[in-house]
Structure 1
Amino acid sequence: MRDFHQPGRSEVYAANGICATSHPLAANAAVDVLRRGGNAMDAAIAGAVLLGICEPQMTGIGGDCFVLFSPAGSDDILALNGSGRAPAAADAAALRARGLKTVPLTGPEAVTVPGAIDAFCTLSEDHGKLGLDAILAPAIHYAETGVPVAPRVAFDWDENQATLQGHGRTHYLINGAVPKLGQLFAAPGQAEVLRRLAKDGRKAFYEGEVAEDMVACLRELGGVHTVEDFANTRCDYTDPVSGDYKGVDLVEHPPNGQGATANLMLNILKHYDIASMDPFGTERAHIEAEAAKLAYDARNRFIADPAMTTMLEHMLAPETAAKLAALIDPKKAMANPHSLSESVHKDTIYITVVDKDRMAVSLIYSIFHGFGSGIASEKFGVLMQNRGAGFTLEEGHPNEMRGGHRPLHTIIPGMLRQNGKVIMPFGVMGGAYQPNGHARFLSNMVDFGMGPQEAIDAPRCFSDDGVMKVEKGYSDQVRQELSDLGHKVEVPHGPIGGAQAIRIEDDVLIGASDPRKDGCAIGY
C-alpha cells in the first residue's frame, strides 16, 4: 500500500469493468459503452477512436494498431495485426537512387496505408456487441463539439507542431497557432468520416471520397499511393509469442511488431539476480541497459514483415539469451552493438479494458512520430502516419522497404498470464522504449513485489542510441555512477513513456494509469 503522506494515486478497484488509458474523456467514454451493454472490445474501440481527437499528435484514423484480447470465459489470448502496408509501387532501390540513406520522415515515402480502421471494423464485427454506429458516437460528438486541450497534449503539441505541413497546418492548428492549454480543438472533417463509417462500414474509409482525398494529397507530394492500395488493405489474425519470467508468462504480439524483443530481454535478465539489487540503484539500471542493447540489436537484425521474419525461433531460444547475457560486463557499458536506419519514436496511445464477463482487450494505436508525417488530406483532415520510416533502405535486409510489405513496428500491446490464467492486459507507450518498458514493468512486480500502480509510477531509464536517459526520479549519485561505468547519461526533456494496466482477480478488477500522461483508470 502506498504512503498516503506522499503525492501519488491509488489503484482503481471495481467489479464490473475498468478502462485505463491516457485521457479521461476516452476512459469515461469506454466505461459508458460498458454500462450501455457493450463488451470490452466495443469499449476499447470507442475509447481508442476518441483518443485520436483528444490526442491528435499521438494517434488517429490515419494510423495503425495492434491488439491482443482474451474472449469472455476463456484464457486464450488472440492477436490481430492492424498495421498497414507500403503502397504496391514502393521501392527502396528508387529511394537509394535518389541518394537517400533513410526514409524521409515527413515525405509521402514514409506514409503506409492506414490499417487501424480496417482492424476496428473487423473486431467490431467479429467480437463486439453494439455495432460501429454506437461505438463511434462518442468520437463523432467530440470531433464536432471539440475537446479541451489537456496539459500533456499541450506540451506535445508545442514540441511537435513544426512537423505539420500544408493541409496538416490547416486542420491541426487554430488560426495558424498551436492550441493553448484548455482551448477547444475540434475536427469536423473527421466527424464526417466517422459518420460515414458508422453508416457504411470500412468501405466508407477505404473506397470512395475519403480514400480519394487521402490518395490525392499524397500524390500531389510525389507519393506512389493508389486507391487500389487503400481498397486492398486487410488486417490479419495471428498467433502471439510468449515467454516465461519467473512463473509469469509475458504474451506479446508477433512480428512485424517488436514484442519479441521484450521476451528476449527478460530471457537475458533471467541470468542475473535482479531481485537482490536496489530497484532504483546503479547495478540494476546498468544490467538492464546492457540487456536492452543486446535485445534491440537482435530486433534490428531480425524483425520485419511477417513474411520476412525467419529468425524468430532463434531470437527467443534460451541458448541465444545465454550467449548474449555472457557478453555483459557488470563494470563497463558497451557501445551500441548494432544500429540500423529505421526510425524510432515516442508517440503512441494505449488503452486497455476488461468487462464484467472478463473479456480483456489490450490495444495500442499510433501515427508513429508526433503528428505522423505532418501530411493531412485536404477535405477531411485525415493525418497520415509516417510508419514507413520504420523500414530500412539497406539492400537485402529483411526490413528493407518493399511494396505491399509491413515495416518493423515499435508499438506493442502486452498481456500477462500465470498458471494458465490471464491476469493482466497492459501496455507501456514510448516508441523504442516499449520492450524495455514491458520488461521493467514485469520485473518491478515479480522481482520487487510492486503493485501495478507502483510499478508504473517507478522511475525509468533507457539506453537509447548511445544515450542513457535517466528520469529525474533517480538520484544524482546513480547518474554519476552510471556515467563512471561509461554510459552517456542525460535527464530527458520529457518523461519516458507512459503505461496502463488492469489486474484481473477473482471478484475484482484493479486499474492503474501512468501519471506521466493526462489519463486515468475508471471503473464501475
Structure 2
Amino acid sequence: MPIITDTAVAADYVDGAQAGRGDRLVGANFAGRSEIIAKNGAAATSQPLATQVAISILQQGGSAVDAAIAANATLGLVEPTGSGMGGDLFALIWDPKQNKVVGLNASGRAPKGQTLDDLVKRLGPGKMIPSHGSLSVTVPGAVAGWVELHKNYGKLPLDKVLAPAIAYANDGFPLSPFIAKGWAANFRRFDQMGSVIEELDNAKKTFLIDGKAPVAGQIFHNPDLAKSLSLVAKGGHDAYYKGPIAKTIDAYMKRIGGPLRYEDFADFKAQWVEPISTNYRGYDVWQIPPNGQGLATLQMLNILEGYDLKSMGHNSADFIHVSVEAKKLAFADRSRWYADQEFVKLPISTLISKDYAAKRRAQIDMKKAGAPETGIMPESHDTIFLSTADKDGLMVALIQSNYRGMGSGLVPDGLGFMLQDRGEQFALDPKHPNVYAPGKRPFHTIIPGFVTKDNQPFAAYGVMGGGMQPQGHTQVLVNMIDFGMNVQEAGDASRWQHEGSPEPTGEAGDGVGIVYVEQGVSPAVIEELKKRGHKVEVKPGLHYGSYEAIVRDHANGVYRAGTEMRVDGHAAGY
C-alpha cells in the first residue's frame, strides 16, 4: 500500500488508503466500524439514544414492533429534522408465525374538502404546490401506523412503549452532531420561505432556544411533545385522529387559512398491503407497492441482473455506468406511472416483469450515457429509517418522514410537532396518474426494504434520502449479494447518486443529469465515465442517503446489524 504524500489527492482513496485514516485490523479498510452481532435481538437507528431505547424495550420483553415504535417516537423528539408525529410511515415486517413478509402503508391523504380546481385557483396560474405552508400538508399517518402495528404485534402496553420518548421530552436530551447541523439548516430554509409559511412563531417557540437552533451537546426539551405522546399513550388512535390532537389541528388550520379539517383525520386509517417483490440472484427483494417508489428498486435490480457486476469490479466505470443507466430507465417509469392505486390502475406486473427488464436493458449503451426519457425538483434527504429484530424472529423495517426536513414549517398550537409537507409531491396535470385529488395519497419517496432467501428472512434494511432511496437500496444489496460485503461494509462502501431524472410531479428530466460520487471512487473511473458522456462531480458534502440494516444469520442463530457511519447512526444488540 503506497504512502500518500500528494495533498492534491490526499482526500482520494488509493489502494484502500485515505489520508488521515487509520487501518482496520479486520474486514475492509473502508469500513467505519465492525458489524454488531447479537443473539437475542438487535436495533439499528439513525440516533444512539433511539437505539438504546429500542434495546431497552426488547430487554423488557417487548417485541421488535414495540422496539420500533419506541425508537420512532424517540426519533421524533431527538431527530425532528427527519421524523415526527406530523409525518407518514411505511413498514415491512417478517412475521414468523405466518412465515411471510407483510406491509403497512401509513401515508396520509389530501384534504377531502379541497378539489384540484380549488387548489389550482388558490396557487395561481402556472404555479406548483409550494414546498412549505398549509397547501403542502396532508394527514399525518405515522401515529395510525404505530397503533396498527402495535395492535397486531405489540407485547408491552402502548404507554410503556412510549414512556422513554415522553421521559426524554420532559427531562431533555443532548443534541447529536449531524442532526444539529440539519436543525439549523431547516430554520434557515424557513426564514427563506417566510412568505409561503402562514405562521412560524409556533415552530420557533417549539424548536429554538433563545431564538437560536440548538447545537450539538446542548440539552433540548419539548414538554409539548411529551403531552401529545402521553395523549396517544393513553388514548391510542382516537386520541390523535378523533380527540384533542385532531381538534387542535383543525382549529389551527382554520385560523391560518389551511384546507385540512377534523373530518380528514376522523376517517383516516393505516392500511395493511401486500408487498411486491422480485428475485435477484436467488434473493427475494420486497417493497411496498405505489404510492411509494419501492418499485424502482425492483426495476433497477431486474435490469442489473443481466450483467456480471462482480467481474466488472466494485465501483468500476462499467459498474457505475450500468447502474446509473438502470436508474434512469426505472425513474422514467417512476415519473410516468407511480401514484396512489386507489385512484388509478397501474401496470405493476408489467413494470416488475423480467421480460420488461430485458427490453429496458437492451436500451443501455455501454459506451454512452443516456438521457432520461420524459427543471429538476430538489428532494428532501431528511428521513429516518430503523430496523429491529427480536428473540422470536420478528423483524421490522420501518421508515418515517415529514418530507422536507422538519416539514411544512407549521406547528399546531401546543402540540410540539410539525406537520409534514408531503403534499408537495402531487402533480397538477389532470392527465397524470399522480394528479392531486381530494382524499388521495401523494407519490411517496420513503421506502422500507426487506429481503428473504429460500422463504426465510435475510435482511431488514433501508437507505433513506429522497430520490437516493432506490439507488441506495440497490447499491447496498449489490454490495452484499454480488460483492460479498458484510452488513456494515455494504453501507460504508463509497456511493454514487444520479440526479436529473423526470419527476412524478410533472417536471421533465435534465438531459443526462449529474452523477455525484463520493471520494472513494477513483479519478480514473470518473474520467472514463466522463468519456462516455456522463456529467460527474465528486461531492463529499452531498447526503448520499443514510443506511440501517439487520441481517439474519441462520447458520449461527444470530443477528448482524450495521448502521450509517456518515451521520449519527448507531446499531446495538443483546
Could you say whether these structures have the same fold, taking a TM-score greater than 0.5 normalized by the shorter chain as the test?
yes
Distance 2:357 2:31 in 1: 39
Structure 1: gaps of 5 or more residues: none
| Residues 47-80 of structure 1: per-residue CA shift (max 9 Å, x gap) | 0110011111100000000011012344311111
Tell whether the 8 Å contact from 1:262 to 1:439 is kept in structure 2 after alignment. Answer: yes
Change (3 A) 1:293 1:380: same
Are residue 18 (structure 1) and residue 54 (structure 2) matched? Answer: no
Displacement after TM superposition at 1:155 (Å): 1.8
Change (3 A) 1:456 1:355: same
Match of 2:365 in 1: 329
Match of 2:157 in 1: 131
Displacement after TM superposition at 1:425 (Å): 0.8
Displacement after TM superposition at 1:4 (Å): 8.0
Matches within 5 A, 1:253-402: 253-307=288-342, 308-338=344-374, 344-402=379-437
Are residue 520 (structure 1) and residue 570 (structure 2) matched? Answer: yes
Tell whether the 8 Å contact from 1:90 to 1:401 is kept in structure 2 after alignment. Answer: no
Displacement after TM superposition at 1:379 (Å): 1.6
AA paired with 1:177?
A: K
1:406 to 405, 428, 441: 441
Secondary structure of 2:416's counterpart equals coil
Distance 1:212 1:348 in 2: 27
Secondary structure of 1:448's counterpart equals coil
Displacement after TM superposition at 1:107 (Å): 2.0
Matches within 5 A, 1:102-117: 102-117=128-143
AA paired with 1:150?
A: S
Distance 1:381 1:280 in 2: 44
Distance 2:442 2:237 in 1: 23
Q: Name whichever of 92-101 and 55-64 sits farther off.
A: 92-101
1:155 to 176, 181, 186: 181
Matches within 5 A, 1:160-199: 160-164=186-190, 165-199=200-234
Displacement after TM superposition at 1:280 (Å): 1.7
Displacement after TM superposition at 1:502 (Å): 0.8
Larger radius of gyration: 2
Match of 1:504 in 2: 552
Matches within 5 A, 1:425-440: 425-440=460-475
Tell whether the 8 Å contact from 2:31 to 2:492 is kept in structure 1 after alignment. Answer: no
Displacement after TM superposition at 1:129 (Å): 0.7
Are residue 468 (structure 1) and residue 494 (structure 2) matched? Answer: no
Tell whether the 8 Å contact from 2:300 to 2:327 is kept in structure 1 after alignment. Answer: yes
Displacement after TM superposition at 1:222 (Å): 2.7
Task: Report the identity percentage.
Answer: 40
Match of 1:94 in 2: 118
Secondary structure of 2:498's counterpart equals strand
AA paired with 1:118?
A: A
Tell whether the 8 Å contact from 1:41 to 1:361 is kept in structure 2 after alignment. Answer: yes
Distance 1:169 1:326 in 2: 53
- TM-score (norm. length: structure 1): 0.96
Tell whether the 8 Å contact from 1:106 to 1:163 is kept in structure 2 after alignment. Answer: no
Tell whether the 8 Å contact from 1:300 to 1:339 is kept in structure 2 after alignment. Answer: no
Are residue 54 (structure 1) and residue 49 (structure 2) matched? Answer: no
Distance 1:5 1:325 in 2: 34
Tell whether the 8 Å contact from 1:110 to 1:389 is kept in structure 2 after alignment. Answer: yes
Tell whether the 8 Å contact from 2:396 to 2:460 is kept in structure 1 after alignment. Answer: yes
Distance 2:165 2:401 in 1: 16
AA paired with 1:515?
A: M
Match of 2:506 in 1: none
Distance 2:28 2:352 in 1: 42
Q: Name whichever of 13-22 and 300-309 sits farther off.
A: 300-309
Are residue 233 (structure 1) and residue 268 (structure 2) matched? Answer: yes
Secondary structure of 1:86's counterpart equals coil
Change (3 A) 1:136 1:276: same
Structure 2: gaps of 5 or more residues: 1-24, 191-199, 501-512
Tell whether the 8 Å contact from 2:228 to 2:416 is kept in structure 1 after alignment. Answer: no
Displacement after TM superposition at 1:2 (Å): 3.6
Tell whether the 8 Å contact from 2:447 to 2:462 is kept in structure 1 after alignment. Answer: yes
Distance 1:62 1:464 in 2: 28
Secondary structure of 1:167's counterpart equals helix
Tell whether the 8 Å contact from 2:30 to 2:493 is kept in structure 1 after alignment. Answer: no
Tell whether the 8 Å contact from 1:31 to 1:523 is kept in structure 2 after alignment. Answer: yes
Tell whether the 8 Å contact from 2:28 to 2:489 is kept in structure 1 after alignment. Answer: no
AA paired with 2:34?
A: S
Distance 1:468 1:94 in 2: 39
| Residues 197-256 of structure 1: per-residue CA shift (max 9 Å, x gap) | 111111111123322222233333332111111111111011000001111110111111
